[in-house]
Amino acid sequence: MTKHRLLAIGLGLGILAGSAFAQTKQPDWSGIEEETMQHFQALLRFDTSDPPGHEAPAAEYLKQVLEREGIAVETLAMDARRPNVVARIKGSGRKRPLLIMAHTDVVNVDPKKWRFPPFSATRDGGYVYARGAVDDKDNLAACLMVMLLLKRLNLPLDRDVIFLAESGEEGSVEYGIAYMVEKHFPKIEAEYALAEGGSVTRKGGKTLFASVQTTEKIPRPLRLVARGPAGHGSVPLRTNAIVHLSQAVAKVAAWQTPLRMNDTTRTYFERLATLSSPEDAARYNGILNPEKAAAIQEYFAEHEPRHYSMLRTSVSPNMIQGGYRINVIPSEVEARLDVRAFPGEDMDRLIDEMQRVINDPAVEIVPREGSRRPPAPPSAIDNEAFRVLEATVRKHYGVVTLPTMSTGATDMSYLRDKGIQCYGIGPLIDFEDGQLGFGAHSDQERILESALHQFVRFHWDAVVALAAAR
Ligand SMILES: [Zn+2]
Write down the pLDDT at residue 368: 85
Q: Which of 34, 177, 161, 32 is nearest to 104 (CA)?
A: 177
Q: What mean pLDDT is reported for the chain? A: 94
CA 104 to centroid of ligand 1, rounded, Å: 9
Tens-digit pLDDT profile for residues 419-441? 999 999 999 999 999 889 999 99
CA 197 to centroid of ligand 1, rounded, Å: 7
Cα–Cα distance for residue pair 146/464, rounded to 1 Å: 9
Q: How far is CA 441 from the centre of its chain?
A: 13
CA 410 to centroid of ligand 1, rounded, Å: 7
The residue with greater pLDDT, 82 or 13, is 82
The percent of residues above 70 in pLDDT, for the chain, comes to: 94
CA 295 to centroid of ligand 1, rounded, Å: 35
pTM: 0.91
> Which residues is 161 bridged to in the sheet?
89, 98
CA 386 to centroid of ligand 1, rounded, Å: 21
CA 284 to centroid of ligand 1, rounded, Å: 28
- Supply angle C-alpha 141, 58, 408, rounded to 5: 65
Residue 422: DSSP 8-state? E
- Taking a C-beta distance cutoff of 8 angstroms, is the pair 101, 193 a contact? yes
DSSP 112-157: GG-SS-TTS-EEETTEEESTTTTTTHHHHHHHHHHHHHHHHHT--B
CA 196 to centroid of ligand 1, rounded, Å: 6
CA 409 to centroid of ligand 1, rounded, Å: 10
The percent of residues above 90 in pLDDT, for the chain, comes to: 90
CA 135 to centroid of ligand 1, rounded, Å: 5
Write down the pLDDT at residue 24: 66
Tens-digit pLDDT profile for residues 377-388? 999 999 999 999
CA 219 to centroid of ligand 1, rounded, Å: 16
Tell me the pLDDT band of 23, cut-offs 50, 70 and 90.
Answer: low
Give the up-direction half-sphere exposure of residue 456: CA atoms within 13 A in the CB hemisphere: 31
CA 441 to centroid of ligand 1, rounded, Å: 9
* pLDDT above 80 (res 370): no
CA 9 to centroid of ligand 1, rounded, Å: 34
* pLDDT above 60 (res 22): no
